[in-house]
Amino acid sequence: MHFPQTPIQEPAMPSSPPNYAPPPSSGYRIPLSKNSVFPSEMQTGRPPFIDADGVSPMFIGSAIFDNSVHPCKIVPALDPKCMVPYGGTEHHHHGRYDLLPFDANTMEFVRTSHGHIPAGRRPVEGGYEDNGNKLYHAIANVGGVMVPGKTGTHLGGCNVSFAGGEHVIRENYDILCWRS
């Protein structure tokens, strides 16, 4: 059987790119809970970090509490998957949390110290304290492992949960910012 060939019409390209709205100040998130099936890499993107075992992916997240939201780390290999630096310990969070897929095209880590927001930069909002103080996503090196955590101007550094404790790093950590 012979079918007539019809030329394929390519869609017309716009003369200028469409105007895309910037992401919300906290980014686009994937809502999860202790009982959620962990999303695929197609949804989460490549994991930005690897845990101390050298193989387990580690993601950026925000743990949702009754009166606050705290930036945290998410490690699918752990139970629970969400760990929060809170109250001097590594708090095992069993409630709702959100995963923030890292997008290197729109986000970058910027070196800072002592709770400062680098001049001219817009940090990615990660949550807030129960008194309303803003919290931002940050990462710090703990024992050779880059660990996601939280920072804020009121904290004076970066707080991360690692090996059962809350570690406070005052100098040379990175805050997650929107690319300019």
Classified as helix, coil or strand, 144 is coil
- What are phi and psi for residue 42, nearest 5 degrees? -60, -35
Q: What is the pLDDT of residue 24?
A: 81
Show the tokens assigned to 51.
């845990």
- What is the rounded distance in angstroms from the CA atom of residue 96 to the CA atom of residue 40? 18
Q: Please state the rounded mean pLDDT for residues 19-39.
A: 86
Whole-prediction pTM: 0.86
Closest CA to 28 of 13, 45, 11: 45
- Residue 60 in any domain: the answer is yes
- Residue 3 in any domain: the answer is no
The predicted-structure confidence for 46-85, as pLDDT tens digits, reads as follows 999 999 999 999 999 999 999 999 999 999 999 999 999 9
Q: What is the pLDDT of residue 20?
A: 59
Number of domains forming the structure of the chain:
1
- Residue 85 in any domain: the answer is yes
Model confidence at 12: pLDDT above 50: no
| Beta-bridge partner residues of 109 | 176
The range of the structural domain enclosing residue 105 comes to: 30-35+42-178
Q: From start to end of 125-179, where are the E strands?
A: 125-128, 134-142, 145-152, 157-162, 165-169, 173-178
Residue pair 110/174 in contact by the 8 Å Cβ criterion: yes
- Residue 16 in any domain: the answer is no
Residue pair 136/174 in contact by the 8 Å Cβ criterion: no
- Residue 132 in any domain: the answer is yes
- Residue 22 in any domain: the answer is no
- Residue 5 in any domain: the answer is no
- Residue 11 in any domain: the answer is no
Closest CA to 62 of 125, 122, 118, 5: 125
